Amino acid sequence: MKKSMLFVCAFLLAFQINAQEKPTEKPIQEGEVFTSTQTVKINGTTHSLKTRAGTLQLRDENNEPIALHGFTAYFKEDGPTKRPIIFSFNGGPGSSSYWLHMGVMGPKRIVVNDPGYTKAAPYELVNNDYSILDVADVVMMDPIGTGLSMPIGKAEGKDFWGVDQDIRSTSLFIMQFLKEYDRMQSPKYLLGESYGTFRNAGVMSYLLDKGYALNGVVMVSSVFDIRSLAFPVQESTSYLIHFPSYAATAWYHDKIPNKNPNLEAFVDEVRKFTEQDYLPALFKGGRLSPADKNSVAEKMENYTGISKDIWNRNNLRMTASEFFNELLREEGMTVGRLDSRFKGINPMPQNQYAITDPQSDAISPAYTTGFLDYLHRDLGVSKKLTYKTSAYASPGFKWDWSHRGNEGWGSMISVNTAIDMADAMNKDPNVKVLLMNGYYDLATVFYGVEHTIDQMNLRPEIRKNIIMTYYEGGHMFYTHMPSLQKFKKDLADFIKDTTK
C-alpha cells in the first residue's frame, strides 16, 4: 500500500514539474473593431456612415491566422450591398493609409497651408466636401506593420514585407473582408497612391486569378517600373522621363523667360523636345559633337532656367535630388520632392544634393497629429493601441524586392509590376484603369508613367481602357484645392462609367 502511494505521489510530482516546464501557448489574437457613426455633407446632402475601425483577423490559404489587418471602413447607412466599394491605401512601401484618409477619401480632411508651411496645432479638421462617400463605400487599409496591423500566430514580418508577400496579404484581406461584410456582389475598386499603385498592379492580377474581377483600378501618383526612379549608371531613361517635370517646376517658379502661359501646352512642347532632341543626344553619348551638345544644353536652359554651362558640365544629365538643390540655389532655397511647388530653406546650398523635402516638412505634423486625434476621439479606437504611421518603426523591417515574373533580372532596379497590370487587362478586357498624375510630382513623375504604359504593348482596344488625368499639384495633389475638386469629379465619373 505504501509503495502504491509513493508511486502515485511520484507520478503526480513528475506530471506537475513537466507541466511547469512546458511553455504555455499564447492564444491567437482576434480582431477588434470599434464602431461609430460619422456624417459627411456633400453637395448639400448629409450622408450618415456606419463606421468600423480596427482589425480583421487575417487567415492564410489553409485558414490559419497570420495577422491582424488594420482598416477603417465607411458604409452608407441603409446603403445597398451592391453599392460600389473602394479599397484604398498609400505606399512606401511601409506607409499606413492616413495620408489618403485625411487628404481626400474620408468624411473629414486636414486643412493645410498649400503650398506653404502649416502652423502647429490646433489643426483644422473640416467636413470633406469632396469625399467620394456619396458615390461609394470606402475601406482604408493599413498594410502589415503599419497602423494597427501586425503578424500573429506563427507568422513573422518577413512573411508580409516584400513585393509578392504584400500583394498576397493585401489580396487576402480584400477577399476575406468582402465575405465578412457581405459585399461579394458590390462593384469593386482599388485606389492606391505611390507604391500603392505598384501594389495595385499586382493585386488586380492576383485577385483576378482567384476569381475576383474588379470594375476599376485607380492609380494616384503612379510608379510601376522602379528602374525609372533610380537613375542607374549609364542608363538614360530616368533622366529623360524626369525632364518634363523639371521644366514644369521651373515654369511654376517663373524661371523661364517668355514662358507659355498655358501649362499643358508648355508641357506638350517639352515632351516634343525630349523625344526629338534630348533622347537622341543622350543615346549618342560620347559621339555627340560639342556643337550639338551645346545646342541641346541651350534648349534645356530655356526650359528649366538652369544654365547651359551646368547642363554641359553634367553631360546633359541631372538627377532629381540634384535638381531640387540647383533650381533655387542662388536664392538659398530648395524645392520639394513630393511637390515641387513647395520651397524651403536650403541649409547647405553648397551641397550637390538636397537634404530635406519642404513639402513633407510643411504638412506632415498636421496630417499625423490631426489623424491620430480623429482616430481616437471621433472613431473611438482605444487609446491603449498604438497606431504606426510607418512600418519603419517595426523591428526588422526590410523589404524583399524580388517579384514573380521578374526572376533573373538582378535587383530591385529591375522590378516592374506593369507586366501584372497588362496580364490582368488582357485577361479581363472590361476592367478600366484611371491614372491620376500631378505635374509637380518629382517622386513619381508623370512622363515616367506615360512611358511605362507605352511599353506595355497593349492592343488598341485594351489601351483605351486606360484613362490619364493631370493635376496642377504634386504627389499628394489633393492638398491643392482645384486639384482636390477635379479629383472628386474625375473619380466619380470613373465609378459611374464602370458600373453601368
pLDDT at 25: 64
SS3 label, residue 151:
strand
Q: What are phi and psi of 435, to 5 degrees?
A: -105, 120
pLDDT at 372: 98
Residues 174-188: b if buried by 16+ CB within 10 A, e if exposed: bbebbeebebeebbb
Asked whether residue 21 is domain-assigned, the answer is no
Residue count (the chain): 500
Are 359 and 114 a contacting pair, CB within 8 Å? no
Asked whether residue 27 is domain-assigned, the answer is no
Same domain, 329 and 463: no
Q: Which long-range contacts (CB under 8 A, 24 or more apart) does 484-490 make?
A: 484/104, 484/130, 485/130, 487/104, 487/130, 487/436, 488/104, 488/130, 488/131, 488/132, 490/434, 490/436
Query: Given 343, 359, 375, which residue is the final one in a domain?
Result: 359
C-alpha cell belonging to residue 222: 503612379
pLDDT at 411: 52
Q: Domain range for residue 448?
A: 33-227+364-498
Cβ-based neighbours of 128, under 8 Å, separated by 6 or more: 40, 104, 106, 107, 108, 109
Same domain, 70 and 192: yes
Are 170 and 217 a contacting pair, CB within 8 Å? no
pLDDT at 14: 47
User: What does each of the 500 residues of the chain score in pLDDT, given as a tens digit?
Assistant: 444 444 444 444 444 545 455 555 678 889 999 999 999 999 999 999 999 999 999 999 999 999 999 999 999 977 667 899 999 999 999 999 999 999 999 999 999 999 999 999 999 999 999 999 999 999 999 999 999 999 999 999 999 999 999 999 999 999 999 999 999 999 999 999 999 999 999 999 999 999 999 999 999 999 999 888 889 888 899 999 999 999 999 999 999 988 999 999 999 999 999 999 999 999 999 999 999 999 999 999 999 999 999 999 999 999 999 999 999 999 999 999 999 999 999 988 888 888 899 999 999 999 999 999 999 999 999 999 999 999 998 889 999 999 987 765 445 557 999 999 999 999 999 999 999 999 999 999 999 999 999 999 999 999 999 999 999 999 999 999 999 999 999 999 999 999 98
Query: Given 335, 359, 383, which residue is the final one in a domain?
Result: 359
Same domain, 258 and 287: yes
Asked whether residue 25 is domain-assigned, the answer is no
Same domain, 341 and 424: no
In the chain, the number of structural domains is 2
Closest CA to 66 of 95, 28, 93: 28
What's the CATH code of the domain at 129?
A: 3.40.50.1820
Asked whether residue 19 is domain-assigned, the answer is no
Instruction: Please give the full DSSP string across 170-215, using - where no structure is assigned.
Output: HHHHHHHHHHHTT-TTS-EEEEEEEHHHHHHHHHHHHHHHTT---S
Cα(134)–Cα(141) distance, rounded to whole angstroms? 20
Same domain, 435 and 342: no
Asked whether residue 24 is domain-assigned, the answer is no
Same domain, 254 and 222: no
Same domain, 373 and 312: no
pLDDT at 1: 44
Same domain, 200 and 261: no
Same domain, 220 and 86: yes
Same domain, 45 and 122: yes
Same domain, 92 and 194: yes
Query: Given 329, 359, 389, which residue is the final one in a domain?
Result: 359
Asked whether residue 12 is domain-assigned, the answer is no
Q: Give the amino acid at 465.
A: N
Same domain, 448 and 489: yes
The pTM is what? 0.93
